[in-house]
Structure 1
Amino acid sequence: MFESLDATLLARIQFAFTVSFHIIFPAFSIGLASYLAVLEALWLWKKDQVYMDLFNFWKTIFAVAFGMGVVSGIVMSYQFGTNWSVFSDKAGPVIGPLMGYEVLTAFFLEAGFLGVMLFGLHRVGPKLHFLATFMVAFGTLISATWILAVNSWMQTPAGFGMNEAGQFIPLDWWKVIFNPSFPYRLVHMVLAAYLTTAFVVGAVGAWHLLKNTAPRRSRTMFSMAMWMATIVAPIQILAGDFHGLNTLEHQPAKVMAMEGHYQSHPDGAPLILFGIPNTAEKRIDYAIEIPKLSSLILKHDLNAPLAGLDTIPDNLHPPVAVVFWSFRVMVGIGFAMLGIGLWSLWCRYRGTLDSSDWLHRAAVLMGPAGFVAVLAGWITTEVGRQPYTIYGQLLTADSISPVATPAVAASLIAFIIVYFLVFGAGTFYILRLMKRLPRDPMPDLEDGPIRTAGITPGPASGHTHGSAHHGH
C-alpha cells in the first residue's frame, strides 16, 4: 500500500512533524528561562515574596517543557542518519561542528546549572542560585544562536567550498556562522520566543484573575506579560519587515510565494491580503488586494517593479499555497498580539488592567497564539526554501537516503502514535500545573504588609517547590 507514495515526501512529512513538536518547547523554554531570571532578580532587588512564589510556580513548568524539548530534539537528529544520510554526508563538515558547538557551549551549560536552579536555593544561597538561573537563561539563548546559525546557513549558504567528494567544506567559519540571513533570523526567533512565553504567562494570569485565584500573584504575572506584549510586539513586526527585505534579496522565490506573485509587476505590485492560490493557472483566485502596496513595503516605492514566479523555472517553485497561507497566519497573529498589547496599555492607563474581564478573556484565548505563529513562521521558512535543503546548492530530492518507502511510512506512523501519547500527556500535565496556582496564604495580602523574601519559602512556594520535585 506504500509503494504508490514518494519516500522523499514521506521523509519530509516526518521531519516536519517531529520539528513541529520540537520547536514549540524551545520557543517556550527560551522565553520562560529569561522570565525566571527576571523574577528572581526582582525578588532579590525588591525583597518581595510574590516574585519568588511566581518563580517557584513557573520553574516547575519550565522543567517539564525543557525535558520534553530535549527528548523531541534527540529524535530529530536520529532522522539525519536514517532518512537524510546523503544530506548528512554532503553537509556534515559544516553542519556537524555547529551542532557540536551547540551541545558543548549551550546544552552542557543549561544542564549543568538546571539542577541548581530547580533544587539548590537552600544549598547554595540566593546570589549563587540567581547565577544558576541566569546561566540557564543564557544557555537557552546560546543554544538558539547555534541552531539558528545552522538553519540560516542552509537558507543563505556562505563561506564554503566543495571538495572532490562533493562535500560542503568550511572555508571561512566567520562567514559560515554569520551568513547573510543569520542576524535577522536570530532576532526574529528570539523575539518570537519571548512573545510566545508572554502570552502563555498572560493567559495563565488572566485565567486566575477571572477565577479570582491568588489575586496579587495573578495581577503581577498578567501585568508583566502585558508589558512584554506591548513593548516586544511592535519590535517584532519591525524585525519581521527587515527579515522580509533580507529574504527578498537572498531568497526571492520565497517572497514571491509569500506574496502570491505568480506574475511579475513592472509598474508596482499589489499587496494581496487574501485569495486562493491556483497553481495550475498560476494566479490568485478571488484576490483581495491593495494596489502597489507590496512594492511600497518591499521596495519603499509605489511604482517599483517586482519580479514574479514567471521568472523562475516551474521545477524550482516552492509550494505557493502552503507558504502563502502560513505567512498570513503568522502576520495576522503578530498584529493580533500588537492589538492585545495596545488594549492592555489603554486599560493600564485607565486603571482597569486588573478588572477588565473582556481583556482577560481575550488574553486567555491568545494563550496558544505564540505557538501557532512560531509554527506558521517555521513552515513559511522551511517550505519556502523548497525544492532545496541547502538553498541554491543541494536539492531535497538529492538529499534523501536510499531508504524504502514502507520503512519511512512505518516510522512516521510510529512517531505520530508515540508523540501524541508522550507529548500529549506532558502537555496535559503542564496545563494542570498552570491551573493550580497556589492561593494567597493571607486574605489581606493585597492590602496588608508585603512579606519580605527569605531563603526559607512560604507555604505557597513550598507547595510549588514540591511540585517541581515531582515534575522532575
Structure 2
Amino acid sequence: MFGTEAIDLARIQFAFTISFHIIFPAITIGLASYLAVLEGMWLKTGTQVYRNLYHFWSKIFAVNFAMGVVSGLVMAYQFGTHWSGFSAFAGSVTGPLLTYEVLTAFFLEAGFLGVMLFGWNRVGRGLHFFSTCMVALGTLVSMFWILSSNSWMQTPQGHEVIDGIVVPVDWFAIVFNPSFPYRLAHMALASFLSTSLFVAASAAWLLLKKRDTPEVRKMLVMAVLMLMVTAPLQAFVGDMHGLNTLKHQPAKIAAIEGHWDNSHGEPTPLILFGVPDMQREETRFALEIPALGSLLLMHDIDKQVPALKDFPAADRPNSTVVFWSFRLMVGLGLAMILLGLSGVYLARKGRLFTSRRWLRLAVAMGPAGLIAILAGWFTTEVGRQPWVIYGLMRTEDAVSAHSAVHLSISLTAFVTVYFIVFGTGINYLFKLIKKGPAGDDSHAPSGGPGKPRTPSRPLSAIEESLDGTTH
C-alpha cells in the first residue's frame, strides 16, 4: 500500500482498531458510574428526574457497551495474527493479565448487566441498584487489568528472560509496575472527563433546540460539576505521570519536548511550538521559554532535561508525532478547565441554561475528551518506540511474517467494515441523544406488550428506524 512496509501496515492497523475501540470503553466507564449515581440519588431523594435520566442514559450505555465488546474482541485477535513474535515472547505475562480481566471484570459485567438493563420493576430496588453498582465496578476492574498489562509493556519488571522468553517471577511487581498507578488514575479521570463532556454537550444541544426540561437542566448541572472537579485534578495527575515517565522513559520525554541537545550546559527551555525534524536533529521554528522546561520537569532550574542526542538514533521515538499529539492533549485539557470554570460562573449568575454562546461551546467540546484520550494514547504508544516492550523487545521483532500485500488487504477490509458497522452504531447513538430524556415515566420498563413490566430495550428507544422511516 503506497510503498509502505509490512511492519508499518501492521502498526497502522493496530492503531486504527485500538483507536476505534478505546472511545467506547472510555464512555462506558464514565456512564456506568454516572448511572450508579443517578439511581443512588433517585433512591435517596425519590426525585423522578433522576429516574428518567437513568432510563435515558442506560439505553445509550447499552449500545455503547455492545460496540465496545465487539471492537475489543476484534482487536485481541491481532496479537496472534499480526504480532505473533510478541505473543511468543511475552504471552506468559500478558496472557494471564488479560485472562484475569475476563474472569473478573467481564464475568462481573455480564452477570449483572441483564438485571441492570432488563430488571427494572422485576427485581427489588436494592438488588437493581446493587446490579448497577456491580456493572460500574466491572468497568473499572476491566480498566485495571488492561492498563496493568499495557503499563508492564511501558515499565516491565517482576520477570526474567529465560531461553528468549519472558518468565514471570513476581506477579505483584508485574501488576503494580512503576507506571501503572499513574496511568490508571490518568485513564480513569480521562473517562470521567470524556463522559461529562459528552453529557454536557447532549444537554447543551437539547437546550439550544429549546428542549428545556428539568431532566436536561439536571444533567447539564451534574456534568459541569463533574468537569469542574476532574479537569484540574487530571492536570495534577498528568504532571505526576510525566515525572514518572521522565524517570523510566527519558527518551519519550525528550521527544515530547522536542529537546535535542544539552551540550550548551544551560537550563532546558520549554518549547511551546515548533517542528521537530528527525533527519536534521533539531526543532525548527521553535518558540520557547528559557529554563521553564527544567523548572516544570526537573523542578529545579539548574538541572537539564535529557536530550534526544543523549540516546542512539535507533532508540529515539518519533518526536514529530509525539510533540504535537502531546500538545493537542494538553491544549484540550486547558480548554476543559476553562469550560468548567466558565460553566460554574454562569451557573452562579443564573445564566447557565440561557447563554447560547456557552451552550454552543459545550456542544463543540463534546468530543474533546475522546480526542484528548486518542492524543494521549498516541503520545504513550509512539513515544515507547522503537520498543514494543520497553528495553526488552523491539517492535520489528514482534511483528508476524506477513507480506505488505496481505496486510494492505487486511487493513482495507478493516477500515471499510469498521466505518460501516460502527458508523451505523454511532449514528444510532446520536438518534437516541436527539430524542432526549422523557419528562415523565414513559421510558420506565413494563412487562409484556402493552402491559406493565416489559424489559427496557435500547433498540426500541426511538420512534424512527435508522433509515428515517417510522415504525
Same fold (TM over 0.5): yes
Which residue of structure 2 aligns with residue 126 of structure 1? 125
Aligned to 1:21: 20
* CA distances 1:409-448 after superposition (whole Å, capped 9, x unpaired): 111110000000000110111011111114535xxxxxxx
After TM superposition, the structure 1 stretch with the greater mean CA deviation from structure 2, 264-273 or 373-382, is: 264-273
> Residue 151 and residue 60 in structure 1: after superposition, are their counterparts in 2 closer, same or farther (change >3 A)?
same
Which residue number corresponds to residue 251 of structure 1? 249
Distance 1:465 1:267 in 2: 68
- Structure 1 residue 468 corresponds to structure 2 residue 458: yes
Q: Helix, strand or coil: the match of 2:305? A: coil
Does structure 2 conserve the Cα–Cα contact (< 8 Å) formed by 1:155 and 1:385? yes
- What SS class does the counterpart of residue 121 from structure 1 fall into? coil
Distance 1:172 1:357 in 2: 56
Q: What per-residue deviation string (whole Å, max 9, x for no partner) do you get for residues 24-75 of structure 1?
A: 0001100010000000000000101110100100010101110000000111
SS in 1 for 2:4: coil
Q: What residue is the counterpart of 1:176 in the other structure?
A: 174
Question: What does the per-residue CA deviation read over 1:440-462, in whole Å, with 9 as the maximum and x for residues that have no partner?
Answer: 35xxxxxxxxxxxxxxxx22445
Provide the residue aligned with 1:285 in structure 2.
284
Whether the 8 Å CA contact 1:206–1:222 is kept in 2: the answer is yes
1:143-154 paired onto structure 2 within 5 Å: 143-154=142-153
Confirm or deny that 1:262 pairs with 2:260: yes
Give unmatched runs, 5+ long, in structure 1. Answer: 442-457
Flag the 1:471–1:162 CA change in 2: closer, same or farther, 3 A: farther
Q: Give matches, 1:437-448, under 5 Å.
A: 437-441=436-440
How far is 1:307 from its partner?
2.0
> Residues 266 and 304 of structure 1 are in contact (CA less than 8 Å); yes or no, is this contact kept in structure 2?
no
Structure 2 counterpart of 1:250, one-letter code: H
Secondary structure in structure 1 of the residue aligned to 2:287: strand
Q: Distance in 2 between matches of 1:335 and 1:398?
A: 39
346-355 vs 373-382, which moves further: 346-355
Are 1:199 and 1:368, in contact at CA under 8 Å, matched by a contact in 2? Answer: yes
Give CA deviations for 1:363-382 in whole Å, capped at 9, x if unaligned. Answer: 11100001100000000000
1:350 CA displacement? 1.6
Q: Partner of 1:393 in structure 2?
A: 392
Deviation readout 1:312-363 (Å, 9 max, x if unpaired): 0001111111100000000000000000011011112222222222211111
Aligned pair partner of 2:206 in 208, 216, 219: 208
**Is the aligned partner of 1:235 residue 2:223?**
no
| Aligned CA distance change for structure 1 residues 131 and 22 (closer, same or farther; 3 Å) | same
Aligned to 1:191: 189
Q: Which residue of structure 2 lines up, in the alignment, with residue 300 of structure 1?
A: 299
8 Å CA contact 2:85–2:399 kept in 1: the answer is yes
What is the alpha-carbon distance in structure 1 between the residues aligned to residue 87 and residue 109 of structure 2? 27
**Matches of 1:70 and 1:319 in 2, distance apart?**
32
1:167-218 CA-to-partner distances (Å, cap 9, x unmatched) read 1111100000000000000000000000000000000111112222142111
- Corresponding letter in the other structure for 2:442: P
Letter in 1 for 2:11: R
- Equivalenced residue count is 454
1:372 aligned partner:
371
Q: Does structure 2 retain, via aligned residues, the 8 Å contact 1:181–1:247? A: yes
Q: Which runs of 5+ in 2 are unaligned?
A: 447-453, 463-471
- Counterparts of 1:244 and 1:302, CA distance in 2: 17
* 3-state SS of 1:389 partner: strand
Q: Deviations over 1:225-245 (max 9, x none)?
A: 000010110000000000000
Aligned pairs (5 A) from 1:36-75: 36-75=35-74
8 Å CA contact 2:120–2:445 kept in 1: the answer is no
Tell me the equivalent position of 1:225: 223
The 5-angstrom pairing of residues 69-88 of structure 1 reads 69-88=68-87
Is the 1:253–1:317 contact (alpha carbons within 8 Å) kept by the matching residues of 2?
A: yes
Task: Indicate conservation of the 8 Å contact 1:440/1:460, yes or no.
Answer: no
Q: 2:56 touches 2:443 (CA, 8 Å); kept in 1?
A: no
Aligned partners of 2:158, 2:390: CA distance in 1, in Å?
Answer: 14
| 1:11 matched residue in structure 2 | 10
SS in structure 1 at match of 2:303: coil
The residue aligned with 1:272 is 271
Please give the secondary structure, in 2, of the residue aligned with 1:284.
Answer: strand
Superposed CA offset, 1:263-295 (max 9, x none): 226321111111111222111111111111111
Distance 2:455 2:431 in 1: 15
Would you say the 8 A contact 1:64–1:471 is kept in 2? no
Give the secondary structure class of the aligned counterpart of 1:269.
Answer: coil
CA distance in 2, matches of 1:73, 1:86: 21
Say whether the 8 Å CA contact 2:269–2:292 is kept in structure 1. Answer: yes
Counterpart contact for 1:157–1:390, Cα < 8 Å = yes
CA shift for structure 1 position 116: 0.6
Aligned to 1:163: 162
Partner of 2:330: 331
Q: Is the 8 A contact 2:33 2:133 kept in 1?
A: yes
Secondary structure at the aligned position of 2:122 is classed as helix
Counterpart secondary structure, 1:288: strand
- Report if the CA contact (8 A) 2:55-2:444 is conserved: yes
1:81 and 1:471, CA in 2 relative to 1: closer, same or farther beyond 3 A? farther
Specify the alignment match of 1:137 in structure 2. Answer: 136
SS at match of 1:363: helix
Q: Which residue among 438, 442, 445 is the counterpart of 1:459?
A: 442
User: Could you tell me the percent identity over the aligned residues?
Assistant: 54
Secondary structure, in 3 states, of the residue corresponding to 1:123? coil
Whether contact under 8 Å (1:266, 1:306) holds in the other structure is no
> Would you say 1:358 and 2:357 are equivalent positions?
yes
What do you get for the CA RMSD once the two structures are aligned?
1.6
Q: Is the 8 A contact 1:262 1:310 kept in 2?
A: yes
Answer whether contact 1:257 1:324 (CA < 8 A) is retained: yes
The one-letter amino acid paired with 2:105 is A
TM-score computed with the length of structure 2 as normaliser: 0.94
Aligned mates of 2:25, 2:94 — CA distance in 1 = 20
Q: Which residue of 2 aligns with 1:433?
A: 432
TM-score, with length taken from structure 1? 0.94
Q: How far off is 1:257 after superposition? A: 0.7
| Residue of structure 1 in register with 2:420 after alignment | 421
Q: 1:35 matched to which residue of 2?
A: 34
